[in-house]
Structure 1
Amino acid sequence: MSRKSLSLLLLTIIAASIAPLTSLGAADAGFTLPASLSASDFPDDIHMDSLARLPQVHRAELNAVGREAFDTYVSPGTGYGSGLRGPIGAWMNSPELAQAMFDVRQRVRYESDRDQRLTELAIIATAREINNQYEYTAHEPLAIAAGLEQDIIDIVRFRRSIEDNQAIAGFGETEQVIVKFAREVISEERVSSETFARAIDIFGEEGVMDLTGLIGYYSFVAITLKAFDVQRPAGSDLLLPVRAE
């Protein structure tokens, strides 16, 4: 199977399978902010080198195909120069899959017409809907660095009503549609005709496919993190509020 075919198959499978910075106010009373992690919080089956259920994969252990995939990820500008942990570290147990997902990542995250502010909004909205702490905590700082306003981040963090927050500075039609699209594609049976039409008006056909691919890619990241129980480093602040029991 070609790399392109494998990438498309992975995204198809993902789509089919998906059915503290601020204090909490009264509107967010249904959420609690988790405490920082300590090493004692890690489950017994976690390897300390990888912070996951399988040990870290080292380049020297790989065959030629694996070394090529490894080198692709640690090349300059990828953000992984310090080593492969997190979801990428898990993917390296299947180097051909890791290589295929790199191509998807580059397309949906960096090569679409969206700027990084909107891209990070879509990513944190995806992480919020899937309730993935690792993914959300990794990307909220990136969203801030990309210029996403804290008030918009909090709409996502606490899953606040889009309709009740339309007056928030910077939360225009484009931002609202991204959040609504992510919520519906993950948490509803289908994306509504209205939301889809609004997305087409803003992004066009290719842009909507790229947005869907971005959500699908980070859904696969979240599935990987969940399957391998990948942990944030000890001492990390956890930024995604959880629903109070």
Structure 2
Amino acid sequence: MSQSGGIPAAGNEENMAPRIPPLAPEELTLEQTALYAAITGGPRAQGPQHFPLTADDGSLRGPFDLMLRSPAVGSAQQELGAAIRYRTGFTDRARELAILLVAARWDSAFEREAHEAIARALGFGDDELAAIRALEVSGFDGAEGAVARATVALLNGDLSEEDWDAASTALGIGGVFELTALVGYYATLALQLRVFRVG
């Protein structure tokens, strides 16, 4: 994984065994069951499904199973994720572009799998996805270019005065706030997926 931006490399977790087994629905406590229902019955489960939320045994996939381990924090985390996915001012393409840049920086296999499927449905081509995986954003322009450049800067830890001027002009103050929340949220998921060895 890239060392830029101060993100530590931890080896190739895709080929490591998960550190904990996923929780099957029949194993859940009342609090976990309520969170499971919020995830599987919320906006992520509505409309076209570009990646499955659950495995064949009904257990949640990826970061969603991890959220069950602390229902109080997991509930707040999944609600923040739903707000970022469905209630920001970004277009669907701009949002997925930013998410995939976070996945690329963190080398997050699950985020890449899930959100490349969504991106393809939104019209991203192979060349665009390859550029995103390389954190190469010069081919994006307009609002998407502004989101991409600001996301790369945020992944490096901050917005310079020049980056701030460009991002706040293109996205507005609220847009910059929403983008910092998006980058932080998906970086948190990537860290959790890495620590728990979820491929």
**Greater helix proportion:** 2
Aligned-pair distance for 1:42? 4.3
Q: Which amino acid aligns with 1:70?
A: Y
Report if the CA contact (8 A) 1:156-1:179 is conserved.
Answer: no
Residue matched to 1:157:
133
Residue matched to 1:212:
180
2:33 alignment partner, one of 62, 67, 92: 67
| CA RMSD across the alignment | 2.4
* 5+ residue gaps, structure 2: 46-52
Report if the CA contact (8 A) 2:146-2:171 is conserved.
Answer: no
Report if the CA contact (8 A) 2:67-2:78 is conserved.
Answer: no
Residue matched to 1:38:
none
Give the match's secondary structure for 2:44: coil
Deviations 1:62-102 (A, max 9, x none): 33222211111111542336541211112211111211111
Task: Identify if the C-alpha distance between structure 1 residues 161 and 107 changes in structure 2 by more than 3 Å, giving closer, same or farther.
Answer: closer
Give the match's secondary structure for 2:105: helix
**1:43-62 correspondence runs (5 A):** 43=16, 46=17, 52-62=18-28
Task: Identify if the C-alpha distance between structure 1 residues 18 and 209 changes in structure 2 by more than 3 Å, giving closer, same or farther.
Answer: farther
Looking at structure 1, the residues matched to 107 and 87 of structure 2 have their Cα atoms a distance apart, in angstroms, of: 26
1:185 alignment partner, one of 154, 158, 166: 154
* 5+ residue gaps, structure 1: 1-16, 20-33, 35-40, 47-51, 166-170, 232-245
Looking at structure 1, the residues matched to 100 and 181 of structure 2 have their Cα atoms a distance apart, in angstroms, of: 15
Deviations 1:108-167 (A, max 9, x none): 1110111211110011111112222332232112111122344332321223362xx4xx
Looking at structure 1, the residues matched to 36 and 100 of structure 2 have their Cα atoms a distance apart, in angstroms, of: 26
Looking at structure 1, the residues matched to 6 and 30 of structure 2 have their Cα atoms a distance apart, in angstroms, of: 34
The count of residues paired between Structure 1 and Structure 2 equals 180
Aligned-pair distance for 1:176? 1.9
Alignment of 1:127 onto 2:126:
no
Looking at structure 2, the residues matched to 152 and 42 of structure 1 have their Cα atoms a distance apart, in angstroms, of: 26
Task: Identify if the C-alpha distance between structure 1 residues 96 and 199 changes in structure 2 by more than 3 Å, giving closer, same or farther.
Answer: same
2:85 alignment partner, one of 92, 109, 116: 109
Task: Identify if the C-alpha distance between structure 1 residues 76 and 206 changes in structure 2 by more than 3 Å, giving closer, same or farther.
Answer: closer
Q: Which amino acid aligns with 1:128?
A: A
Relative to structure 2, which stretch is displaced further, 105-114 or 137-146?
A: 137-146
Task: Identify if the C-alpha distance between structure 1 residues 135 and 18 changes in structure 2 by more than 3 Å, giving closer, same or farther.
Answer: farther
Q: Which amino acid aligns with 2:79?
A: D
Report if the CA contact (8 A) 1:54-1:90 is conserved.
Answer: no
Looking at structure 2, the residues matched to 18 and 94 of structure 1 have their Cα atoms a distance apart, in angstroms, of: 28
Report if the CA contact (8 A) 1:66-1:96 is conserved.
Answer: no
Looking at structure 2, the residues matched to 68 and 197 of structure 1 have their Cα atoms a distance apart, in angstroms, of: 43
Give the match's secondary structure for 2:124: coil
**1:126-145 correspondence runs (5 A):** 126-145=102-121
Looking at structure 1, the residues matched to 89 and 64 of structure 2 have their Cα atoms a distance apart, in angstroms, of: 25
Residue matched to 1:10:
none
Report if the CA contact (8 A) 1:129-1:182 is conserved.
Answer: no
